[in-house]
């Protein structure tokens, strides 16, 4: 009888510990549904397209202003040759233009990197690749004080960015 009592007591004490110990279920992490995955791709693509559009807006605004700045620099150069102008003002204007173009190149570099490293944007990277190089070309031309050629290079960059948006819309 004593043996039966010890066996029942042991069974009674061990039973709850084994059932309580397994209350937590193991499961694999939930995979997103196809609809959720498609929504994520659409969201990332829209964000990428917005960044491309922003670059187009900033560049076109800058190119518009660049025309009048270039005319002003040319007129100031002519006045400086006749000892009528302020050469320091001309140098400051040139430096601002050069630094603005360098800023565009840096922004386009970041945009290319984002498209290259984001899986949802990689299909569009092929069209985008090289826009930073076009801005670098514009930067070199501005460094050589060829602002008209620099503006034309930036116009080519805007055209390539527009092509990217067309592809992203399809």
Phi and psi (nearest 5°) for 117? -100, -10
Q: Which residue has the higher pLDDT, 92 or 57?
A: 57
Given a cut of 60, is residue 13 above it in pLDDT?
no
Compute the distance between CA of residue 72 and CA of residue 146 in angstroms, rounded to an integer. Answer: 14
Tokens of 133: 């190089």
Q: Model's pTM, two decimal places?
A: 0.75
Q: Which residue has the higher pLDDT, 85 or 162?
A: 162
Compute the distance between CA of residue 127 and CA of residue 164 in angstroms, rounded to an integer. Answer: 6
């Amino acid at each position: 009888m004593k043996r039966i009592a010890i066996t029942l007591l042991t069974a009674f004490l061990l039973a709850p510990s084994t059932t309580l110990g397994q209350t937590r279920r193991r499961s694999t992490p939930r995979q997103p549904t196809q609809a959720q995955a498609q929504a994520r791709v659409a969201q990332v693509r829209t964000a990428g397209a917005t960044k491309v559009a922003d670059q187009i807006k900033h560049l076109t605004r800058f190119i518009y202003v660049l025309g009048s700045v270039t005319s002003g620099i040319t007129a100031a150069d002519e006045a400086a040759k006749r000892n009528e102008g302020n050469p320091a003002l001309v140098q400051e204007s040139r430096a601002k233009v050069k630094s603005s173009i360098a800023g565009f190149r840096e922004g386009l570099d970041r945009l290319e990197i984002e498209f290259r490293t984001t899986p949802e944007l990689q299909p569009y990277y092929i069209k985008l690749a090289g826009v930073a190089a076009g801005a670098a070309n514009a930067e070199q031309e501005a460094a050589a004080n060829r602002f008209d050629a620099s503006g034309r290079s930036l116009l080519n960059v805007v055209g390539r960015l527009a092509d990217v948006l067309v592809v992203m819309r399809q």
